[in-house]
Amino acid sequence: TTVASSVPFYIMASKPKLSETIFGHGNFKYRLELEWGNLNPKTHPVKNCHEMVMDKKGRLFMLTDHVKNNILIYDKSGKLLDSWTLKLPGGHGLTLHDEGDDEYLYITDPNLGKVLKTTLTGTIVKTFDSPKDNGAYKSNMHFRPTETAIGPNGDVYIADGYGSQFILQYDAKGNYIRKFGGDSFLQEAKFKQAHGVALDARDPNNPTLLCSARIKNAFKRFTLDGKFIETYYLPGAYVSRPVIDGENLYSGVCFGMEEGDYNMKMNRGFVTILDKNHKVVSNPGGTKPKYKNGKLKIMYQDVPIFKHCHDVCVDNDKNLYVCQWNAGNVYPYKLCRV
């Protein structure tokens, strides 16, 4: 007791403890490493752990909206390698793009209405024009970007998920091309909270865009020039961005429902995993996916591991790292593939 009491809490909490309980379903089952990402909150504080990406060296870059350290860089064991900040008060979306010789980060801040391209060490190399400045938006329209995706030719797609609900397309030099989507609960090709956007290149001959329509419990597929294709409805799942890894799609479910009450509920997060045929195959922290006559039944949180899952990062061993919004300043959790 004397020895333990002399050890700072943050060091004790950073020691990995792997849960004996197995979460998930089918071939996608995991054991939870709750304290994987724990750091000293005095030197490396977080508010919301919004998103995480992995570079070619296997380093994990995590974005938080704490101005002291917007970026925390971990190795897969949970060791902190480095940190830096751009003093962004609303750091939200984080996309990594490999340009051959170098990799770059695309960061969105909906609080400031900014989209930035940076090096992996935090040097800003490009700031994208606001759609109010290039004529895409009228002056009274809101621009609060939440996510980016990079097309095969280098085009940049910006999801205005907390603003006017458009996906905005720019070329690699930052010149505005077009917008598509917009705000509507009823129209299928439009969004309610276009929270995420991702390039889906699982069919290399026909790459497309997957976009989150969080309030509609859905992902929507578009062509690279903004033509609507189809919707994947995920009842009960207020999804974050789609994350493509191999044949599968992963997403954090930020909000959920309760049985008999179909309103959006706080603290009901889980992770959802879809196969290449857009069928849900596992819900770590959530109920087992069930289909009846080909239609997915409503999914719910099953075990209260998570409060609000904001992103999922998949490493090369197929372990998952889960970032959370509004979860009491917790660091990322690791789900170790069984």
Number of structural domains (the chain) is 1
Average pLDDT over residues 256-264: 94
* Distance (Å, whole) CA 289 – CA 236: 11
- Calculate the average pLDDT of the chain: 95
* Domain membership flag for residue 270: yes
* Domain membership flag for residue 256: no
* Domain membership flag for residue 252: no
Domain that residue 330 falls in:
16-45+263-337
CB 250 within 8 A of CB 258: no
Per-residue pLDDT of 67-85, as tens digits, reads 999 999 999 999 999 999 9
Q: How many CB atoms lie within 10 A of CB 68?
A: 14
- Confidence at residue 5, expressed as pLDDT on a 0 to 100 scale: 32
The percent of residues above 70 in pLDDT, for the chain, comes to: 95
Task: Report residue 72 CA to chain centroid gap.
Answer: 16
Transcribe 90-117 into DSSP letters: T--EEEEEE-SS-EEEEEEETTTTEEEE
Per-residue pLDDT of 21-78, as tens digits, reads 999 999 999 999 999 999 999 999 999 999 999 999 999 999 999 999 999 999 999 9
* Domain membership flag for residue 274: yes
The percent of residues above 90 in pLDDT, for the chain, comes to: 93
H or E stretch covering 331: none
Instruction: Report whether pLDDT(259) > 80.
Output: yes
How far CA 255 is from CA of 63, 95, 124, 268, 277, in Å, comes to: 20, 22, 33, 5, 24
* Domain membership flag for residue 97: no
* Domain membership flag for residue 62: no
* Domain membership flag for residue 25: yes
Contacts of 332 (CB under 8 A, 6+ apart): 36, 37, 49, 52, 62, 74, 321, 322, 323, 324
* Distance (Å, whole) CA 208 – CA 273: 19
* Domain membership flag for residue 85: no
First to last CA, the chain: 34
